[in-house]
Structures are given as structure tokens and as C-alpha cells.
Amino acid sequence: MIYRTEGVCSKEIHFEIANGIITEVAFVSGCNGSLKGIAELVKGRKPADVIPLLEGVRCNSRPTSCPDQLATALKGVL
């Protein structure tokens, strides 16, 4: 799946869910190392477990962040 982000440095989030488990996550643009780390941390987990951890995280003065955008993307598929 591809989610087009809003209000963050990352342009898109590409992710896969198989049998209710997140199997792949890749951010297009953004803070490379941090976003690779987030992607690795959420792999193997259920979206319902990840959403409350990432939802509401802000980046500086922005009302959202790349992790928050991932939570929004995951909510869209539940």
C-alpha cells in the first residue's frame, strides 16, 4: 500500500500487511536513519498495537510527524 503523507518531510509511506501483521514499511524522503529505525520497530507487529504508540507524535511545531502519518495510514486499513 502507498500512503501520501501531509505536512511532513516524507512524501510517501509504502507498507505491507499480511495476515494482520505489518511486514514491510518504507518512507520516501525524510530523516533516513530515524525512519528506517521506526520501520524496523513496527515490523512484525499488529497495526492496532502500533497506532496508539505513534498517533499524536509531533515534529517540532508541526501538528503531525512521520510516525503520526504512519499511524494515520494504518488506521485507514483497519
Show me where the domains of the chain are located.
Answer: 2-77
> What pLDDT is recorded for position 55?
98
* Alpha-carbon distances, residue 66 vs 18, 42, 45, 47, 55 (angstroms): 22, 13, 18, 16, 10
Mean pLDDT of 48-77: 97
> What pLDDT is recorded for position 7?
96
Q: What's 64's DSSP letter?
A: -
> What pLDDT is recorded for position 39?
98
For residue 6, the surrounding DSSP H or E stretch is none
- Confidence category of residue 75, pLDDT binned at 50, 70, 90: very high
Residues 2-51 have pLDDT tens digits of 999 999 999 999 999 999 999 999 999 999 999 999 999 999 999 999 99
